Amino acid sequence: MFHRTKTLAAAVATSTLLASSLFAGELVINTDTSDPAPKAAFEALIAGFEAENPDVKVTWNLFDHEGYKTSIRNFLTADAPDLANWYAGNRMLPYVNAGLFEPVDDVWAEHGLNESLASAKGSMTIDGKIWGVPYTYYQWGVYYRKDLFEANNIAVPTNWDEFKAAGATLTAAGITPITIGTKYLWTAGGVFDYLNLRTNGYDFHMALTKGEVAWTDDRVRATMANWKELIDAGFFLENHAAYSWQEALAPMVQGDAAMYVMGNFAVAPLREAGLTDDQIGFFQFPVINPDVPLAEEAPTDTIHIPANAKNKEDAKKFLAYLARADVQTQINNTLGQLPINSGSSVGDDKFLQAGYEMLSSTTGGIAQFFDRDAPAEMAKAGMEGFQEFMVKPERLDAILERLEKVRGRVYK
Amino acid sequence: MKTYWKKNQQRLAPWLFLAPGIAMFAIYVIIPIFQSMSISLYAWDGLGEKEYVGLSNYVELMDDDAFYTSLKNNVIWLVLYMLAIPAGLFVALFLNQTVRGIRIYKSLFFFPFVISQVVVGLVFSWFYDPNFGLLNIALQAIGFDPIAVLADEDWVTYGIIAAGLWPQTAYCMILYLTGLNAVDPEQIEAARLDNAKGFKMLWYVVLPQLKPATFIAMVVTVIGALRSFDLISIMTDGGPWGSSRVLAFYMYEQAFSEYGFRMGYGAAIAVVLFLIMMVYITAFLVKMYRDERGL
């Protein structure tokens, strides 16, 4: 019995207690950027900052990605660092509401960020104040096997009928049109976001995630009906509920599946698995309703100053440094993502260029992601419902009613 | 002062020796139970102000499909996990012989219990994998359709329990092996003289002597079933769409997971889980009490 006393509490109590006696000029940064590319990007970022500010010594605590989501709650209240990374939109709302983040309007005003970071200002603003500095974002869309498309004479689909036709051709050739792994749910959220953005548009999508529209609304049903068309046509990988998003990459690499509705971070593992840039392509999610302006999904990552930080002065210096055009160019080249600063340049990578082109011409609006736009509890219930719908589409009514019940409780 | 100590030494000493244990038990077990009960009456995200909501968390629980799914799965776990006891007994009887290298076999059978539950979960996830998993290769070889055990709401709980039974059987086996060492050879001899053998020998002579081992095996198995968490978290994360959750996992999800932080609601689930355990703990205590009094 003893060996199994590894209980739930242990998982929660993994708060790293940091040295609380700090001398002036020491800057503590907590991040969850533990994957190779983000880690290298932050190493360079911190080294650059220290070189320009020799009087500041940076202490950097690196957390693992999953653990960070619970640790941040502990360290923000108990022993706050001077800076911590997090996400824009509704994901930062609980900390803003609890008074754990510091508004940084002054940094924005002083360094002209209102102009240079204008595109992300909306998602950084809550209650009329700005709560952090965004440093990177990346596009979502459809990543596909170019060689499989060519082998089956399929042109890149731009509208719903072409998309469905492409799927039919692929299915006939024994290839699953779209691979997906929904074990951790959020991948299904991405598909829903795009279907809803294309069917009903950005404003409706935002109203839905803000809880202003009923889940049983006919417009939601229209989105789900479009989704059902794909499900009935056998678009999605079988048994997707058993796979994580990484595991679902395998069929695409092996040539058994042709498309993946994903964020740009999927490119790196596809390349590592041996696909060349001639084999991987990217296209914008096709138009469903031609009357709806195209909106895209592009989650933004951010850095914040905790309200309990000890060295806010240097923290603000760091934010100003992070917001600079040249710094954002450099960090995003390492990350393989897109800079927020309008003066930054985008890397040569063809996917970054494609994403940049798509996002800078987007007129319909930019969504963060289902679980960042909707509050946590709604997001969880929603994505669980989407997963169930993808396997048991006949339960649509029960699922929507369940979500409506959650909506009634979450948004008060 | 000194005389008071002298007079009451006999009465006070046991309490002094018990004090550290009592203090620990109170701080880490008793007080948190009451804290959970009190938190379950609030709506609280763990950060902001607590808001008193009376019994509304429990009212919501009564109307929550996910709660009933978890409860049902908990019952399935409790019942099926008991299979570990006869299975462990069977393996123990099988291994309780003196052949060359038996110790190696014993340790091999004990092996799944030594490795972490996380590893067990991963091994079984691969075993069940719809594409390359051994299970489906075997099923297809004998002409059945493949089953994606972990993606099917009807199979998933049974699939995880089967994974859990692997180490749990090993645990029960080791308990019975030690028990078998203590079986009185004279009684076996006497039974032999009376012509008892096979199943009758096992049922009437060996098993009664293994009663303490059976009791412990039952205790650890029930506890194992009720705290089943790591396997679910690793193998399915509660899915597909929440159909493999048990109460402990649902509580964790509501209170501490990425999309949770409803401390009050999580605490309410914990209280329900506690009440279920209480039924069992009471039965356990009653039995202990009777045994102590030699009934």
A337 lies in a domain? yes
Question: Do both A126 and A154 map to the same domain?
Answer: no
A322 lies in a domain? yes
Question: Do both A154 and A119 map to the same domain?
Answer: no
Residue A387 has its nearest CB partner, among B117, B230, B241, at B241
- Name every chain B residue with its beta carbon within 8 A of the beta carbon of A391: 151, 240-241
Q: 3-class DSSP state for residue B42? A: strand
Neighbours of A362 (CB within 10 A): 18
**A375–chain B nearest CA distance, Å:** 8
Q: Is the predicted pLDDT of residue A283 greater than 70, yes or no?
A: yes
**B4–chain A nearest CA distance, Å:** 41
Question: Do both A169 and A181 map to the same domain?
Answer: yes
For B76-133, write each residue's pLDDT tens digit: 999 999 999 999 999 998 888 888 888 888 888 888 888 888 999 999 988 988 878 8
Q: Nearest chain B Cα to A74, which residue?
A: B47
Work out the burial of residue A2: count CB atoms within 10 Å of its CB; fewer than 13 is exposed, 13-18 middle, 19 or more buried: exposed
Question: Do both A329 and A201 map to the same domain?
Answer: no
CA-based max dimension of chain B? 86
Residue A230 domain boundaries: 140-297+375-410
Q: Complex ipTM above 0.90?
A: no
Mean pLDDT over A263-272 rounds to 87
- Name every chain A residue with its beta carbon within 8 A of the beta carbon of B128: 242
The pLDDT-based confidence of A71 (bands split at 50, 70, 90) is confident
- Residue with the two structure tokens 């309490």: B15
**B96–chain A nearest CA distance, Å:** 24
The domain tally of chain A equals 2
DSSP A134-193: EEEE--EEEEEEHHHHHHTT-PPP-BHHHHHHHHHHHHHTT-EEE----TTSHHHHHHHH
Question: Do both A147 and A224 map to the same domain?
Answer: yes
B84 lies in a domain? yes
For B206-247, write each residue's pLDDT tens digit: 888 888 888 889 888 988 888 788 889 888 888 788 888 899
- Size (chain B), residues: 295
Mean pLDDT over A226-230 rounds to 91
Question: Do both A222 and A249 map to the same domain?
Answer: yes
Q: Is the predicted pLDDT of residue A192 greater than 90, yes or no?
A: yes
Residue A380 to residue B259, Cβ atoms within 8 A:
yes
Question: Do both A120 and A183 map to the same domain?
Answer: no
Residue B261 to residue A94, Cβ atoms within 8 A:
yes
A367 lies in a domain? no
Task: Round to whole Å and give the CA distance between A35 and A167.
Answer: 34
A358 lies in a domain? no
B42 lies in a domain? no
Residue B150 has its nearest CB partner, among A77, A242, A402, at A242
Residue B241 has its nearest CB partner, among A98, A184, A388, at A388
Question: Do both A131 and A12 map to the same domain?
Answer: yes
A209 lies in a domain? yes
The pLDDT-based confidence of A118 (bands split at 50, 70, 90) is confident
Task: Round to whole Å and give the CA distance between B256 and B236.
Answer: 17
The pLDDT-based confidence of A87 (bands split at 50, 70, 90) is confident
Residue B241 to residue A385, Cβ atoms within 8 A:
yes
The domain tally of chain B equals 1
Question: Do both A124 and A227 map to the same domain?
Answer: no
Neighbours of B51 (CB within 10 A): 10
B35 lies in a domain? no
Between these two residues, A89 and A60, which has the higher pLDDT value? Answer: A60
Interfacial residues of B (vs A; Cβ cutoff 8 Å): 45-48, 60, 65, 117, 128-130, 148, 150-151, 220, 223-224, 227, 229-230, 236-237, 239-242, 248, 251-252, 256, 258-262
Residue type (1 letter), A278: D
A-to-B residue pairs, Cβ atoms closer than 8 angstroms: 84
Closest CA to A177 of A242, A279, A269, A260: A260
> What's the CATH number where A318 sits?
3.40.190.10
Neighbours of A50 (CB within 10 A): 14
Residue B47 has its nearest CB partner, among A69, A77, A391, at A77
Work out the burial of residue A55: count CB atoms within 10 Å of its CB; fewer than 13 is exposed, 13-18 middle, 19 or more buried: exposed
Residue B151 to residue A239, Cβ atoms within 8 A:
yes
DSSP A36-86: HHHHHHHHHHHHHHHHH-TT-EEEEEE--HHHHHHHHHHHHHSS--SEEEE
Between these two residues, B198 and A198, which has the higher pLDDT value? Answer: A198
Neighbours of A373 (CB within 10 A): 24
H or E element: which one contains A283? Answer: strand A280-283
Q: Nearest chain B Cα to A244, which residue?
A: B236
Model pLDDT, residue A143: 92
B21 lies in a domain? no
Q: In a mutagenesis test of the B interface, which of A2, A4, A244, A400 is the best target, namely the one with the most B β-carbons within 10 Å?
A: A4
Question: Do both A326 and A311 map to the same domain?
Answer: yes
Residue B192 domain boundaries: 64-292
Question: Do both A124 and A206 map to the same domain?
Answer: no
> What's the CATH number where B274 sits?
1.10.3720.10
